[in-house]
Structures are given as C-alpha cells and as structure tokens.
Structure 1
Amino acid sequence: MAMNAILPFEGIGASVKRKEDLRFLSGRGQYVDDINRPGQVYAWILRSQYAHARIVSIDTTAAAAMPGVIAVFTSADMAGIGGIPCGWQIHNKDGTPMAEPKHPVLAEGKLRHVGDPVAVVIAETRSQARDAGEAIALEVEALPAVTGTTEALAAGAPRVHDDIAGNLCYDWHIGDKSMTDAAFARAEHRVAFETTNNRLIANAMEPRSAVGDYDTTTGEHTLFTTSQNPHVIRLLMGAFVLNIPESKLRVVAPDVGGGFGSKIYHYAEEAIVTWAAAKLGRPVKWTADRTESFMSDAHGRDHVTRAELALDKEGTFLGLRVHTQANMGAYLSTFAPCVPTYLYATLLAGVYSTPAIYAEVKAVFTHTVPVDAYRGAGRPEATYLLERLVDVAAKQCGFDRIELRRRNFIATDAFPYQTPVALEYDSGDYFSTLNQALETSGWAGFEARRAEAAKRGKLRGIGISTYLEACGIAPSAVVGSLGARAGLYEVGTIRVHPTGSITVLTGAHSHGQGHETTFAQLVCDKLGVPVAQVDIVHGDTGKVPFGMGTYGSRSLAVGGSAMEKAMDKIIAKGKRIAAHLMEAAVEDIEFDRGTFRVAGTDKTKVLAEISLAAYVPHNYPIDEIEPGLEETAFYDPKNFTYPGGCHIAEVEIEKETGKVSLINFTAVDDVGRVINPMIVEGQVQGGVAQGVGQALMENCVYDAAGQLISASMMDYAMPRADDLAPVSVATHVTLCTHNPLGVKGCGEVGAIGSPPAVINAVVDALRDYGVTHVEMPATAPKIWSIIHGSTL
C-alpha cells in the first residue's frame, strides 16, 4: 500500500480510535499503585482531625514499637526540609507582595485544616502502618476555626496564620476604575447580582499515589507519582524542598487515571516518600484512600462575588464592576494565587465588547483544604458570573436574552480584539456558534415542549451560555510579568529511527486525553508515517528533555506546536540528505507527507530511505551533514488561545420532589482546528458531565467547627449516567492565528459553558415562581423549598 493511502484515515481530522485504549480496557495499564519495588515498605500518614489546633505533644513511642513498623517521622525529624513552594506571586493594589506563609511538609506547631499531615509511619505492610498510625498519641489545644470566605475577612475572625492580619492573602485589582464608574454614571440600566461559586472536589478515578526509591550506590532518587507535570515536580521538590540536584532526581508519572487539575501540584506526600526512601534505604509507597483524597487533594472554585452591569437604553453594555472574595484554604497551593486573578478577572470581558471593566479580588486564608485550579480554573467562575448576570439583566430590563447577547457580541471582523482586562483575542465567531446551537437545540420550538411538559405536571426550562476561555497556557514573557515563577513553554523531540518508525518525546502529559493517538496523528499527517509506527513517550524526566506538563488545554496548542517545530527541523535535514542522494540542489527538494521529490521530476525518496541513509552515512559528506535524524524544539507561545462557543441546556423539574432532570444538552464549540473529532467529542462530553455535576449536585461542605462534612462518596454527590442527558456536540472552526497548528483546546470547554446553561434553564423553569436566581448546586430540596414556599 502506498504511504499516502493511509492519510485520509489517520491524519488530522480523522476519528482514529485511541491507541492507548487496548491496554486500559484490558487491565494492562501501569498506574503508580501497580508499581512495586524490591524491598518496598509502606507509608501511612496521620492527619489532623481538627480544623485549627496547637500541637502540645506528639508521642510516637507506642507506634514505633508495633509489629512491622520501621520508622515514625514528625516535623522534628524533617528539620531543615523546605516548605512546599507556591509557583505564582500576586501583588496587592499598592504593589506589595501577597502574604505567603510557609507550607510545611508535616505540620509544625499548628494544625490548620482537617487533613493537615502530622506524622508518617513506615511499616512492612500498609495495614501495619495504619494500625501504628492510630497508636500515635497526639495532644492538641483546639482553637476556633473559620471556613467561610466572607467570615474569614470579618473583624475578630480566628487567624489561620498568626502573622497574617485579617486572613488576607492579597487585595488585587485590574481594569480602569474611573472609566468604569463613569460608565455607570451615564447608564440607563444598572443590574446587580451576587453569587457563590461552590467549592468542588476533583475526584479523579485514580487516587493520588507515590513511590519513592533511592539508589545508595549512585545517590539517585526516583519518584513515581500521579502527576500532570513530572518535570515541574522535579524542579519544585528538588530545588525548594529536599535540595536534591536535578541530575540526581528522576520523576516518573506513568499512566494516570484522570487529573482535572488536582494532580498538577507538588504535594507533601511526594516529598515524604522521596525523603523517607533515602533515609531508610528502602523504597517507600503511599496510596490515598478516597476519604484521604477528599481532605488532601486541592479543592476547586469557592468564590463569593458581587457584580454590577451597566447598560444603555438599547441594552448595549457600558461597564462591568466585579468584587470577588476567593478562598485559598489554609495554604497556597502551586498555582492558587493566579486562578482568581489572571485566569479569572482577565476573562470577565467574555464574548462581549464591554468597553469598561473593573475587578477587585481579595484572596482569603481559611481553615480548609488548599484551593487551586480545577478543570477550567478561573474561566468557569468568570463565565458563570457573566452568563448569569446577562440573563438577570435581560429579565430585569425587559430584553430578550438571545438578542441581548447578540447585540453585545464582539464583531467577527473586530479581531484581533483588545479587551479592557489585559487579554487580546486573536480569532472567534460567536454569532455562528450561537446560531448553530439554537438550531440544533430546537430553541424556536421550545415553548411547545414547555406546554407539553406542563400537561404532565412538569416544569420545563431552557438555558443558554455563550462563553470564552483562555487556553494554551501560556507565553512565558506574559505570565512571568504577571507573577509566574516558571516559563510555560513546551518541548518536543522527534526521533526518526533507521527504518522510518518514529518516537516522539514530549513534555506534555496524558492523563486520559488520548495523546498517544492525537500526537501520532500529527506525525502521520506531516511525515506520512502510519499511526501504528509512532510511539509517544511522556511522563518521565529521565527520558524527556524537559517539559511543563498538561493543564489549561495546552497539550496540542503548546506541546503539539513544539512537535511541529521539531518536525520542520526533521524535514529540513531530510531535504539536505535527499538532495545529496538524488544529486539535486537542496532548494529543489519538495516534501509532502513522507515523500521527498526533486521539483519538476519523478525522482523521489520516501522518509524510510532518508532515515536509513541518515544512520548509514556512507554516501554523503558527514562534514556537512551530521549522522542521525533526531531533532528537538522548544515552543513558547505568543499568546493564549481562545476557544469559545454556545451551550444550551433543557431541564424538567418534578414539582412534588424538586428533582431537576437534564433532558437535552447542546454544545457547539470553537476549539480551533480539530485533530480527532471523536476525541474532541469525548472531551466535551466529559467536561459537560463535570459542569452538570457542579450545577445540580456537587458541593464541598464544612461545618462551623471546620469539619469536612462531604468527606466521602456517601456525602458528596457525583453525577451518574442517569443524571445526564445525551450531549449533542458540534464544532465551528476559526483557526488560532499564532500557533502553527491553528488549534485552541477542548479539554475544559464542557466544564466552562455548561454550569450557567443549566442554572439558566432551572431559573427559566421556575419563572412562574418569581425566581431570579438559584445558587449552585440546584439540589432537589432547594428547588422543592422554592416551589412550596418553604425554607429548609
């Protein structure tokens, strides 16, 4: 079969089945908990049962004497170890840096949230370690706690950190206040809206796990960990916590069963097992159970916001004011400070041409698990606020909610478009995605469906969300100026073997997105090699030169672009070899998907012939062309990418129970060039499921004493198959103008556009009850109380 014959089926745009699924579905994946090293022992971590307490004493004598116990460590044993670093610094309005308390690996002096690690027991088996851990005598003085965001800022609130007054991490702002105030002064309509974006727990299918190993003969440390970015873990842990040279520290993230942001960060357990393995001279393994994950994995969202929208008589947006209080939890997680600032407030323009925007954000410490990026990271919070606010404005001011959006969309010919809040959008067509979604969802015929539902005793509503997000995180120069303490470029290496098969080494990381297929399709499309002959290597700092991992839908936009640049180098070198072999000038060599051709002739060489010649360089001048065919490229994007689209949800409510059922969901997204439509569809559907979960059922709850009430699957409601409806997924493409692939990203769009669409639908269903807003999650008891005029 000719090489090009496969391209229509496996290249860009083909719905190629995922290569990696065979090993996953057959149980042959290798996750961290599958890894067992010779002589391995097990760690169990004693965690605080108090939200706030002073440690009086820790007696480990009884625990250390129990069967199988090898060692018990507390913070005193880890003296000299650095705190867990934060990767982003935010400055206050006055230019002073944010408050940045030390985040110890094991608690020092105080306990600051339920789940705070106190001590670690190492034993021959996991059950022995657990039994011994429960024998540790921990004496504490319980102290008052504060878990609510607004309550933590109140005068007299308990301090999370003694040296941080008012529990304030930072007081930050963006935009033009005077211009925005002037817009409100001349407005015909002013609409105010308050909401809480509920705290969420990521709940990936695979709990976090870590195995530390140490080679006493070489002094080399190895950490196997469930991470989305192993190179960053190596950097943070090696340089700032354990003081291990990078040349002596290897971090491996094998198959990872879901991340959603919660596996981006450097966690205490990674440092504990790495340090303990070297201390004991034996591999140390730790795996979280589900409840442990609930109180140790970073949580998401948790914003309290008041927003105001100014409109003129015709409904044109004039100005937007936003005041947000963001809960950071007890400590600053790796990316936490940037989520409610540069990943949230810079997106408050959304898809609208609002000329004046001013946002203030106060980040607050509380006695809760640290909060960081969760699928979408700031973008869902911004979209939810905007899309609920637009619906409220339409209702209050008497405008049609669709036409109000259309009136204020950024014009399709206005790109590149500079927003009032720092970002410049490069491309988009919000009118087309809106029109396509309206048609697909049957919006025009909805009232007939509402009437039919009423005959069955049901309340039916329809809601819309038109959203935009920033992906491809992001330009190093930009994020560096905004407080990032690392560059956010990506690295790709293309290794063409002598027989023409290819290995790709990428700094991006796959934890369910299908990289082994999608990245192979890029190679197939450009170099003409069948997908089956392309291997993708990722997740191992000992093999991949460097990388910044995967989050913020950056894999294709940044990682794929690095691969594209490396392939360009491969082609350029291949042309030189081909020119020599075919006795032609380099400038006369053309390349198209696997074939080098002398322009205007029938003289050709396929890639496999060139690669063999590269490794057997008998007949070309090695003083001019180096042997081998392998190239590495770094790609640092010029801008974020900006996916957008329109989501429409249709719901029914049972009056007798208040239960909300999702009936239909339509998603039309502009994710840039689509590499694999089937994978895009799956990514969007998965994101929608998470967004529906937030809108209707998920909620992380603490009581007044700081106890985590929703600390298990019995108490934290996750969406199941019968909670969802068929999700119609379509795309409308406008290409990203500044990366070579034209891609924008699809991993987060479902979780961003769906929550406001669902809540807008719930509010629409309750229109006859005078309802203007329902806070997430819209649970059955909450809706029942609205319908029946009761407060629960």
Structure 2
Amino acid sequence: MTGVACGVPTFQYAAAPTSVYQIGTFAVDLDVVLTNTTPIGVTRGPGFAETIDPIERLIDKAARVMQIDRFELRRRNVVPASMMPWTNAMGTTFDSGDFAACLAHVEQRLRDLDVEVSEHEVTGVGIACHIKGTGGSPEENISFAFDDEQVIFTTGTQAIGQGHETSFRQIVTSLLGVTAEQIVYQAGDTNKIPKGGGHGSSRATFMASTAMSRAADIVVEKALPIAANMLEADVTDVEFVDGAFVVVGTDRSFPLLAVATEARKQGQSLDTYYHFERDALTWPNGCHAAVVALDQDTGRVRLLHYLTADDHGVMVNPMLVEGQSHGAIMQGVSQALLEQLQYDQSGQLLTGSYMDYAMPRADDLPEFDTHFLPTRCTTNPVGVKGAGEPGAIAGYPAVANAIADALHQHGCEEGDFRGIASSQAIWERLCER
C-alpha cells in the first residue's frame, strides 16, 4: 500500500462494516501480507467499497437460502430514519439519512421496468445499499478579500474536474449576496493561502463550504457597524439580507461591496481568513440496482439498466452531482465487468498498459437512471454530503448480485467470483448446470 492507502483497512473499513443495517455485534480481524505485486493507492470509495461488497452479496445469498424477497430482508434490517442520529456497533455515528426511502424508491422503479432480451439470454437483478464517511484531511481554510467591487475568494482545495469553479461561486453568492461575475475564484496556490487539504474523500464542498459559511458570518459582523453608520441607524436596527445591509422596516440599504469600499476608505477591512478543523464526517448513502443479461451461448454479460436513489444532502448544483454520480458508477461497473490486473507466476504485471487493461467505453454502459432523495446533513452549516463515490462503492456488488441472480435462475450455483465476470468465467459457470 502507498500513501493513505494504509488507512483503508485500519480506519475506513472499520468505521462502518455494518453499512446501513442494524447489526448489533461485529468483529474485525486485520491481516497484513507482504507481496511483490503492484502497490495500491486509493481512488473512489476506498475501504467502504470493500465493506459494502461482502455484506450486500451475503444479504442476497441469505435471501435466496431463506426464500425471502431481497428487498424485504433489507427493509427489515435497515436503520430507520426515526433513529437518526444513529451510532453503530463500532461507535461510528450517522447524523442523517432515510435508508428505507432510498430502498423503496429503487424497488418501485425496478417493478416499472420493461426488460427486453433475446431468447438466448437470461436476466438477473442485483441490489446494493451503500454508505461512506467523507471528510478526508481534517483541516481546511479559505479567505475572502474585497477589492474594486469584487470578492476575491481563495480556497486551499484543488478541483480536478468536479466543477468547484461553478459550485463554490454559487455558495459564495448564497452567503454574501454577490453575483457570480463579482467573484474571483482562486484555488490551490500556496502563495495565496497557507494550507490545502485537497479533494480526496469527497471532502472539498463539505470542508470548504463550512469555512465559507463561518468566514461569511465574520465578514457580516465586521461590516455591520460600518453599514449602520452609513445608514445613520443603530446597529440593532440593521440586518443583512440578500447581500445588502437594510434598515428594518424601510427601503434604505447599502450592498455589501459598497460597505467594503467604505471600510477601506476608513482604513478598515472586511478581508477575512478562516481556518477550521472538522470534528465529524458526512455520510452520503443510498441504494443502487443493476439489471443484466447473460448470453447462454457465449457467457457475455450485458448491463441493461442501472438505477440509483442517493442521498447527498443539500445539493449546491444537482447537475454537477449527477455528473459525479455517472463517473463513479462507470468505475464500479467496470470493476465488475472489465478492469482487472493480471500477473504471471513470478508476479510480473501483464496488464501494464491500456493495450492490455480493459477500460470501459460508452457502448459498455446503459443510460443511467439516477435519482436523489436528499436529507440535510447536520454536521456542517450548508447541509451538504460528499457526492463523488457511491457508484464506485455500490456498482460492483450491484452488478455481481445481478449476475448471481441470473445464474441462480438458470439453475447454476453462484460460486466464488475472483476478479471480473468475464465471458469465459460466466460461460463455464453456465455449462456447470
């Protein structure tokens, strides 16, 4: 393992091994093995993907053995919304969520599906609930500076395609009442801000928005007496509403940027730097389902449908959240069907380039049917939860469960899949009937 990958088995897996279910007792044994294979780092959903996969596959297997509907078995065991906040057997607290609602939403949409396959194919449905703690590095900082009718916003987080340039401006607009055009966005520059916690563990919006919210409160507190003086009113008669300081009960007001200009004239400044250290995580959660078709002649697996109901708390920009969801689902599905490291007997990696390592393409995937059922997060003032990882966590077990369901309906034993569900592996399993 490299870098923070060591935290996967020691913290992340151990934080929520019972997932969204009421399991009163759980024991974890950790084994460390020295190997000459390629070191692993972290990507979307580290630790929690390893948590969700076995428990979701066990639930489906238990439902078949007990002859109980898979949704019903989950419904009997999920933590109800009425018990939030809820502390699991490992002492980890989930602040919010409605797991049963996400489960029911996916169940209903599955019932409404019209699945068409050829006479040579057998279909299967797989389900996977998920949850993950997001927060990453515990420290973050931002700054607001006011200059020439604009707000210079600087954050230590660094975007790699998540769209922070858009969503962070939206947050600043909601807090300070300025327009997006009046905001100068700066990120990840140690010449401008001392710390940067990065974007890992779906932390950026949670951490940066918390710092923004608290810094905005300080800006307003600094500006209030200056605005009151400009309005020739008592401080107690002035309030900050939609980006302006207003004398209560009148139409007299000054916008924040005008007050910032006056403050500079008086030798004062509304510029604010805020650093904070979190004491909690956010817990995005939800339910995913996959529908697959197995070709009985070739073993080829086709992913026909992929449905989600996810809770990401307050969504600053739903379009960006959906984009994040699509990317994560692609990774989870690809882990089940395409991507696999192959080694020879000496430990030499055989799939060291994209000539040999299968990456997903557009025609490998269906149109994703994504839905969101947000519950407000209580561990940060904006109410957001992480949004970049659920598909990478639930994608693999959802597809694996769907394949197992199809094999079961075909009269085959599920067996133990190691690696991807290749056409060869599925064909051999189909021939065992």
Normalised by the length of structure 2, the TM-score is: 0.96
Alignment partner for residue 766 of structure 1, among 407, 412, 415?
407
Matched residue SS, 1:343: helix
**Contact preservation (8 Å) 1:671, 1:744:** yes
Alignment partner for residue 182 of structure 2, among 521, 526, 533?
533
**Contact preservation (8 Å) 1:494, 1:503:** yes
Matched residue SS, 1:521: helix
Matched residue SS, 2:274: strand
2:179 corresponds to 1:561: no
Which residue does 2:338 correspond to in 1? 697
- Cα deviations by residue, 1:135-192 (Å, 9 ceiling, x for unpaired): xxxxxxxxxxxxxxxxxxxxxxxxxxxxxxxxxxxxxxxxxxxxxxxxxxxxxxxxxx
Name segments (4+ residues, structure 1) moved above 6 Å.
none
Per mean C-alpha deviation after superposition, the further-off stretch among 598-607 and 768-777 is 768-777
Which residue does 1:283 correspond to in 2? none
**Contact preservation (8 Å) 1:759, 1:776:** no
2:73 corresponds to 1:430: no
Write the letter of the residue equivalent to 2:326. Q
- Cα deviations by residue, 1:483-529 (Å, 9 ceiling, x for unpaired): xxxxx211111112231x11211111101101110000001112122
Matches within 5 A, 1:659-698: 659-698=300-339
- Identity, in percent, stands at 37
Q: CA deviation at 1:635?
A: 2.5
Q: CA deviation at 1:370?
A: 2.0
Matched residue SS, 1:364: coil
2:178 corresponds to 1:515: no
2:130 corresponds to 1:472: no
Q: CA deviation at 1:456?
A: 2.5
Matched residue SS, 2:371: strand
Which residue does 1:786 correspond to in 2? 429
Alignment partner for residue 82 of structure 2, among 409, 413, 422?
413
2:121 corresponds to 1:458: yes
Matches within 5 A, 1:228-307: none
Q: CA deviation at 1:644?
A: 0.4
Q: CA deviation at 1:695?
A: 0.8
Matches within 5 A, 1:356-435: 356-435=25-104
**Contact preservation (8 Å) 1:513, 1:683:** yes
Which residue does 2:287 correspond to in 1? 646
Matched residue SS, 1:769: coil
Matched residue SS, 1:540: coil
Which residue does 1:497 correspond to in 2? 147
Matched residue SS, 2:201: coil
2:427 corresponds to 1:757: no
Q: CA deviation at 1:445?
A: 5.0
**Contact preservation (8 Å) 1:658, 1:784:** yes
Which residue does 1:63 correspond to in 2? none
- What is the distance in 1 between the residues matched to 2:205 and 2:166? 12
2:275 corresponds to 1:634: yes
2:397 corresponds to 1:748: no
- What is the distance in 1 between the residues matched to 2:422 and 2:14? 28
Normalised by the length of structure 1, the TM-score is: 0.53
- Cα deviations by residue, 1:392-414 (Å, 9 ceiling, x for unpaired): 11112222111000000112111
Write the letter of the residue equivalent to 1:610. V
Q: CA deviation at 1:422?
A: 2.6
- What is the distance in 1 between the residues matched to 2:276 and 2:370? 31
Q: CA deviation at 1:368?
A: 2.4
- What is the distance in 2 between the residues matched to 1:667 and 1:572? 43
Matched residue SS, 1:399: coil
Which one has a larger percent strand, Structure 1 or Structure 2?
Answer: 1
**Contact preservation (8 Å) 1:526, 1:592:** no
- Cα deviations by residue, 1:467-489 (Å, 9 ceiling, x for unpaired): 11111236xxxxxxxxxxxxx21
**Contact preservation (8 Å) 2:120, 2:297:** no
Write the letter of the residue equivalent to 2:74. R
- What is the distance in 1 between the residues matched to 2:193 and 2:343? 42
Write the letter of the residue equivalent to 2:274. A
Write the letter of the residue equivalent to 1:460. T
**Contact preservation (8 Å) 1:528, 1:594:** yes
Matches within 5 A, 1:703-714: 703-714=344-355
- What is the distance in 2 between the residues matched to 1:507 and 1:540? 7
**Contact preservation (8 Å) 1:648, 1:667:** yes
Write the letter of the residue equivalent to 1:770. C
Matches within 5 A, 1:136-215: none
Q: CA deviation at 1:364?
A: 1.9
- What is the distance in 1 between the residues matched to 2:80 and 2:245? 43
**Contact preservation (8 Å) 1:537, 1:544:** no
Matched residue SS, 1:365: coil
**Contact preservation (8 Å) 2:281, 2:379:** no
- What is the distance in 1 between the residues matched to 2:90 and 2:315? 29
Write the letter of the residue equivalent to 2:59. V
- Cα deviations by residue, 1:282-306 (Å, 9 ceiling, x for unpaired): xxxxxxxxxxxxxxxxxxxxxxxxx
Q: CA deviation at 1:716?
A: 0.8
Which residue does 1:610 correspond to in 2? 259
Matched residue SS, 1:360: coil
Which residue does 2:227 correspond to in 1? 578
Which residue does 2:19 correspond to in 1? 350
Which residue does 1:62 correspond to in 2? none
- What is the distance in 1 between the residues matched to 2:352 and 2:155? 36
1:364–1:593: structure 2 CA closer, same or farther, 3 Å change rule? farther
- What is the distance in 2 between the residues matched to 1:459 and 1:534? 55
Write the letter of the residue equivalent to 1:590. E
2:10 corresponds to 1:341: yes
Write the letter of the residue equivalent to 2:148. P
Write the letter of the residue equivalent to 2:129. T
Which residue does 1:736 correspond to in 2? 377
Write the letter of the residue equivalent to 1:738. T
Which residue does 1:220 correspond to in 2? none
Write the letter of the residue equivalent to 1:556. T
Write the letter of the residue equivalent to 1:463. G
2:147 corresponds to 1:506: no
Q: CA deviation at 1:559?
A: 1.6
Write the letter of the residue equivalent to 2:101. S
- What is the distance in 2 between the residues matched to 1:372 and 1:653? 33
Q: CA deviation at 1:736?
A: 0.8
Matched residue SS, 1:610: helix
Matched residue SS, 1:648: strand
Q: CA deviation at 1:772?
A: 2.4
**Contact preservation (8 Å) 1:701, 1:709:** yes
Give the greater-gyration-radius structure (CA): 1
Matches within 5 A, 1:31-50: none
**Contact preservation (8 Å) 1:417, 1:424:** yes
Per mean C-alpha deviation after superposition, the further-off stretch among 592-601 and 548-557 is 592-601
RMSD of aligned residue pairs (Cα, Å): 1.6
Q: CA deviation at 1:558?
A: 1.0
Structure 1 unaligned residues grouped into runs of 5+ = 1-327, 475-487
- What is the distance in 2 between the residues matched to 1:568 and 1:370? 45
Which residue does 2:111 correspond to in 1? 444
**Contact preservation (8 Å) 1:559, 1:635:** no
Write the letter of the residue equivalent to 1:444. R
Q: CA deviation at 1:788?
A: 2.2
**Contact preservation (8 Å) 1:657, 1:784:** yes
Which one has a larger percent helix, Structure 1 or Structure 2?
Answer: 2
Q: What is the aligned residue count?
A: 431
**Contact preservation (8 Å) 1:650, 1:761:** yes
Structure 2 unaligned residues grouped into runs of 5+ = none
**Contact preservation (8 Å) 2:148, 2:261:** yes
